[in-house]
Structure 1
Amino acid sequence: MKKLLLILALIGTVLSCTDDDISTDPELSGNFYLTDISCFCGFNPEIDFKDFKLQFSSTNNSFTLINPTEDYFYIGSSGTYNYELDDTILKVEGAASYIYSFEGNKLTLTLLDDPMVADDELVLTYQKE
């Protein structure tokens, strides 16, 4: 009886283990502010990009997005978002996916656009604080 319980416990332990290796990138940790936008979109030329911020927590693959105005938002409205990484792709839960890259302390997010839509190109450049 003890052997049966031990076997069942081992089977339960093995089955409860998953292969959920969460991909992380230590560079995606900290605070970033927007420095440049390239898109087929309009924005007020007097807007201060530095007020648009990303606060990444790489320990749980989430970020907080801060938008000073809801008139303009490029990733989503202000809030906290979970993300997944797949090589150089940052997939935002409930939103779009972006190719991400670093050059020094600059983070570039390039929207993975729909090839059938001609005007959805978007490149966001952030500076690490």
Structure 2
Amino acid sequence: MKLKLVAVLFLLFISCSDDDRIIDDMALEGDWILSNVACYCFFGEDVDFSLTTINFDVSRAMVTVSNESEYIFFRENGEHFYGGQANRINFSDGFVYFFETRGEQLTLTFEDNPDIADDEVTYVFTR
């Protein structure tokens, strides 16, 4: 009886291992260039969104952000660890984004807080 219990516990332990991806992020892998920001905000006509790039390293669950602009889009410069479930990316500061990839385009949409007006923002990246 004890052997059966140990076997069941072993199978449960293996089925909960970190080998299973919680977040469906394989399509995020690689370099992305910001092409547009959609929000209730104003940017002058001369804003060059392409000065912001990101790189997803899904094997390390890390995104590296590089901002060469006077504006900071998406996140601060540097490396940021992420987690999540399905199509949601969570960062340690509590920011959550929904992501969608279609071919060479990545859309990251900030998870809206219904108690805050005008916090909706969507980032569009291309390869």
For structure 2, the residue ranges without an aligned partner over 5 or more in a row are 1-9
Larger radius of gyration: 1
8 Å contact kept, 1:22–1:84: no
- 1:62 maps to 62
- 1:72 maps to 71
Structure 1 pair 44–95 and aligned structure 2 pair: CA distance change class (3 A): farther
Q: Distance in 2 between matches of 1:96 and 1:74?
A: 14
Residues 1:47 and 2:47 aligned together:
yes
What percent identity do the matched residue pairs reach?
Answer: 26
| RMSD (Å) for aligned C-alpha atoms | 2.1
After superposition, the C-alpha distances for 1:55-110 in whole angstroms (9 at most, x for unaligned) are 110111101111113x4223221111001130110112225110000111100000
Structure 1 pair 40–126 and aligned structure 2 pair: CA distance change class (3 A): same
TM-score, normalised to structure 2, is 0.78
Deviation at 1:40, TM superposition (A): 1.2
Q: For residues 109-128 of structure 1, what are the structure 2 equivalents within 5 Å? A: 109-128=108-127
Deviation at 1:44, TM superposition (A): 3.1
Spell out structure 1 runs of 4+ moving beyond 3 A: 17-24
For structure 1, the residue ranges without an aligned partner over 5 or more in a row are 1-13
Q: Which is further off, 29-38 or 45-54?
A: 45-54
TM-score, normalised to structure 1, is 0.77
